Amino acid sequence: MKLDFTIILGFALCVSISHADTLSYLRFEEGSGYGALDETGLMNGEVLNFTSVDPGGGDSGGSGWSVSTPSATVPQTGAANTGSLHFGPGMVDLSNPNALDLGLEFTIEMFFRPDQPIITSSMFGLSPFSSLYWALSETDGNLFFAGWFQDELVNDSASMVTIDEWQHFALVVESTDYSIYIDGQVQDAATIPAGGEGPYYFPGDWEGGRSVGDGFSGWIDEFRISDEALSPSQFLNASIPEPATLGLLALGGLVVWFRRKNSAP
């Protein structure tokens, strides 16, 4: 019986710290120049059309590399966070020979700090063959998200977004449903329109087919795509519990299970 308990405890601890695979992760830590590196190597990008690509070029009224960040470290990973990109004008062109296959379930997330949203201020865009775009827009003083799934348009509230403030955004797609999260809280959830369902597949070698920030006005940082529908506790803005806390949580749950098992007739 002791052996069974030890095995189950070890399994629970492994499950508690497991995570989805990262397909693409652009951290924007370069600070200068034209390269925006993807930590996975899948979508290494090129910084285009910014007013400056010098250090701090996005901190002096123009667009480019910035030292503004949502926090000194990334809560989920603990990695130091020293820079971002300020868009308006400018974009990160992610076109390269590598194909991107999102399938039917995925999560796209980033930190963003909008300053002057207009119609179709694109946060990211993925094409061709499939298409997936997301934009922050404003009409009559009201913010909303405009998204495209395979060219099927959806409009969702962005009432939780605050202008000129760093926040975390996540789009979670799970088969035929999608959810939008702001700072780990659900902003909206709905069913993907008929004809807009996946799978979402984007071949390589299409110039301008994949981008971040094309038409966006404001800052974007830590752009990550994961191959699963993540829960808020797995988002980049979510702090990871200390190892001791994970162990105690798992142990507590197992003790309850163990007692119930032994007390069963």
pLDDT digits (tens, 9 = 90+) for 226-243: 999 999 999 999 998 655
Which run of H or of E encompasses 50? Answer: none
Across the strands, what pairs with 80? 73
State what percent of residues in the chain have pLDDT above 70: 82
Where does the pLDDT of residue 23 fall: very low under 50, low under 70, confident under 90, or very high at 90 and above?
very high
Where does the pLDDT of residue 17 fall: very low under 50, low under 70, confident under 90, or very high at 90 and above?
very low
Checking if the pLDDT of 39 tops 80, the result is: yes
Whether omega for the bond prior to residue 199 falls within 30 degrees of 0, making it cis, is yes
Residue 13: phi, psi to the nearest 5? Answer: -65, -40
CATH class of the domain comprising 21-227: mainly beta
CA distance 13 to 247: 6
The per-residue pLDDT for 139 is 84
Neighbours of 227 (CB within 10 A): 16
Place of tokens 């030890």: 6
Residue range 235-256: average pLDDT?
A: 60
Report yes or no: 182 and 176 within 8 Å, Cβ to Cβ.
no
Where does the pLDDT of residue 258 fall: very low under 50, low under 70, confident under 90, or very high at 90 and above?
very low
Q: Residue-wise over 76-89: b if at least 16 C-beta within 10 A, else e?
A: beeeebebbbbbbe
> Tokens at residue 207, please?
């110039």
The per-residue pLDDT for 265 is 53
Helices 243-263 and 2-16: crossing angle, nearest 10°?
140
pLDDT per position as a tens digit, 51-75? 999 999 999 889 999 999 999 999 9
Most confident of 13-17, 107-111, 244-248: 107-111
The per-residue pLDDT for 16 is 39
Which run of H or of E encompasses 112? Answer: strand 105-114
Which pTM value belongs to this model? Answer: 0.85
> 16 vs 79, which has greater pLDDT?
79
